[in-house]
């Protein structure tokens, strides 16, 4: 039997993470670390590093992955449910509230101007993630330049972009193709 107060602690910890997790997956990781390792002690630091590796290789949003993993490790399936529900609660309420405001006032100058500004911010955030991931793909782990690898990575990215942007290929097959290609190349190169 799992202690209900433990489930409540897990739930509340992830409500807190969800409520302040602005700026995408990579911004959420330090927040999870703070709640789970430092504040609540649900996990040790090495366990948390395991979690980061798993986030990279599993599908779905990183915050959901983290919540399920932490909940599961701490209190089994009920813990996984508590953590997952906790981390989506505030985001869902905020999203639907903003959508209502937008639907009601979208023809006013005020909302048009605010949405335009937020759109520009969205672009900046996406561009920033793109730079981080792109640098990581071209120069993995910040290791000294391996020119052949860098040329390979840039070529793959450009071809993938060309397929999506000019040929209007769906993003999903392109991304899966990139994954398969990388496995093949690593087999050939060794």
Q: Which of residues 40-69 bind other proteins (CB under 8 A)?
A: 50, 53-54, 56-65, 68-69
Q: Judged by CB under 8 A, which stretch of 1-9, 32-40, 88-96 contacts other proteins?
A: 88-96
For other proteins, the binding residue among 12, 29, 52, 125 (CB under 8 A) is: 125
Residue 143 binding other proteins, by CB under 8 A: no
For other proteins, the binding residue among 8, 49, 118, 151 (CB under 8 A) is: 118
Phi-psi region of 41 (alpha: psi -120 to 50; beta: other; left: phi over 0): left
Taking the complex as a whole, the smallest distance from the CB of residue 147 to other proteins amounts, in Å, to 17
Residue 151 binding other proteins, by CB under 8 A: no
* Residue (8 or 118) nearer to other proteins, CB: 118
**Closest C-alpha to 81, from 16, 11, 9, 33:** 11
**Closest C-alpha to 13, from 72, 97, 91, 70:** 70
**Closest C-alpha to 69, from 88, 91, 47, 86:** 47
DSSP string covering 127-141: HHHHHHHHHHHHSGG
Q: Spell out, one character per residue from 168 to 187, where the chain touches other proteins: x when CB under 8 A holds, - when not.
A: x-xxx-xxxxxxxxxx--x-
């Amino acid at each position: 039997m799992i202690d209900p107060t433990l489930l409540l602690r897990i739930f509340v910890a992830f409500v807190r993470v969800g409520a302040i997790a602005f700026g995408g997956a990579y911004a959420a990781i330090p927040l999870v670390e703070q709640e789970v390792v430092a504040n609540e002690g649900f996990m040790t630091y090495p366990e948390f590093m395991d979690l980061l590796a798993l986030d990279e290789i599993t599908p779905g949003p990183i915050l959901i992955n983290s919540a399920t993993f932490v909940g599961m490790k701490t209190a089994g399936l009920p813990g996984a449910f508590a953590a997952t529900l906790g981390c989506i609660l505030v985001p869902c309420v905020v999203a639907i509230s903003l959508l209502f405001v937008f639907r009601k006032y979208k023809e006013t100058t005020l909302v048009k101007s605010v949405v335009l500004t937020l759109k520009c911010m969205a672009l900046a955030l996406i561009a920033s993630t793109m730079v981080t991931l792109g640098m990581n793909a071209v120069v993995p782990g910040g290791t000294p330049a391996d020119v052949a690898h860098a040329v390979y990575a840039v070529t793959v990215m450009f071809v993938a972009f060309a397929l999506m942007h000019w040929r209007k290929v769906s993003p999903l097959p392109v991304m899966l193709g990139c994954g398969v290609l990388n496995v093949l190349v690593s087999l050939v190169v060794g």
